[in-house]
Structure 1
Amino acid sequence: MSGRPSADAALPWPVPSARFMVARLSHLVALGFGAGLARVAPGTVGTLWGWAAFLLVDRLAAPGDLGWAVIVAAGLLAGWWAATATARRTGIDDPGFVVIDEIVAIWLVLWIAAPATLLGQALCFALFRLFDAAKPGPVAWADRVFKGPGWRGGWGIMFDDLVAAFCTLLVVALARFLWGGVA
């Protein structure tokens, strides 16, 4: 097998294999340690994986605000590098199987929206997926603004998910203001 994912006529992007994912550290990170291998809705699977990782780290390590700031910043930098390298390697500007952008974005949402119950986190998850998939207004703009090869394109892969995260947080803040909390 070559260093590129194989084509599948039923999907709008090539399907990466586990072999492709483990061939390079950048692929492993970009594919969310396997979440991007999902044949159906890899962005949703990546977001679920990110939520699960958030719960695990938050419960076991209790990193606090400074710790989460470092985790999100490191994830953003690692994601930018991994998305850039994987997009370059595959020749696809924004591969659907790159899910590190969803993972880091949901970490940002859950960290800033904290404290939230499991129901509140589920609402954050649903809102984020809605903004990320539907790409309304500012998210669509963010999806277009940094296109192309190289570091600019890698940043673009991350950027639209960050804008979707901020849109989610805006709705959460508005709901908390109007109704005194989100679950």
Structure 2
Amino acid sequence: MSERKILTREQRRALLSTPAGWLACGFGSGLAPVAQGTFGSLAAILPWLLLRQLSWSLNLLVIAIGFVIGVWACDVAGRKLGVDDHRSLVWDEFVGQWIALLPALLAPWWAIVIGFALFRLFDVWKPWPIGYLDRHLKGGLGVMMDDVIAGLFAAVVLKLVLMYA
């Protein structure tokens, strides 16, 4: 089955019929007709605002758990859709965005905007090794890894911006 940009009604139903599918599509944010990654990244900011209240170490724990669960959920959902990394699978954006925003935990509000923009830049641009991982890793791990690295790139740049702002 080739990747379709917009899911059919049956694919939507199949995706939302399981906890893995519901999570993988970012609680529905990945079902937007366009810019699914952007909608997923925006939706990720809402729970991050709660995570922001936690310590650095608890944030890292939540991200690690989110990654492991995401590998499973995106693998299950991808197999259900018949597409390894369908655009509607945006849990990877949640985890990547949370990583990108780590330097913003104690920063002013504008750091959230910059962290969001940087993550979207690296996720879309896919410089090495992000693009390599996106093309060569398959299954749930492949869905998740490129966004984790994009989040790390964005976090490093955001940290530099905050250091010199």
TM-score when normalising by structure 1? 0.81
| 2:48 aligned residue | 54
CA distance in 1, matches of 2:61, 2:103: 13
| Corresponding residue for residue 106 of structure 2 | 115
In structure 1, what is the equivalent of residue 142 of structure 2?
Answer: 156
Match of 1:65 among 56, 62, 73: 56
- The answer for the alignment partner of 1:91 in structure 2 is 82
Are 1:173 and 2:164 an aligned pair? no
Offset from partner CA, 1:28-78 (integer Å, 9 cap, x none) = 0100111011111010000000012111343xxx22112212211111111
Instruction: Compute the TM-score of the two structures, normalised by the length of structure 2.
Output: 0.89
Q: Contact between 2:100 and 2:152, CA under 8 Å: does it hold in 1?
A: yes
Work out the number of aligned pairs and report it: 163
**1:150 matched residue in structure 2:** none
Name the SS for the 2:45 alignment partner. Answer: helix
Structure 2: runs of 5+ lacking an equivalent: none
Q: How many Å separate the matches in 2 of 1:19 and 1:136?
A: 35
2:70 to 58, 64, 79: 79
CA offset at residue 135 of structure 1?
Answer: 1.1
Of 153-162 and 49-58, more deviation after overlay is shown by 49-58
CA distance in 2, matches of 1:83, 1:115: 31
Q: 1:100-148 CA deviation, whole Å, 9 max, x = no partner?
A: 000011112212442222211100100100110121222112212313x
- Provide the secondary structure at the position in 2 that maps to 1:137: coil
Among all aligned residue pairs of Structure 1 and Structure 2, give the percentage whose two residues are the same amino acid.
Answer: 34
Structure 1: which 5+ residue stretches go unaligned?
A: 148-152
Q: Separation in 1 of the partners of 2:101 and 2:158?
A: 11
The aligned residue for residue 118 of structure 2 is: 127
Q: Is the 8 A contact 2:23 2:73 kept in 1?
A: yes
What is the identity, as a one-letter code, of the residue corresponding to 1:74? I
Q: CA-atom RMSD, angstroms?
A: 2.1
Q: Pick from 15, 25, 42: which aligns with 2:7?
A: 15
Asked whether the equivalents of residues 70 and 91 of structure 2 are also in contact (C-alpha less than 8 Å), the reply is yes
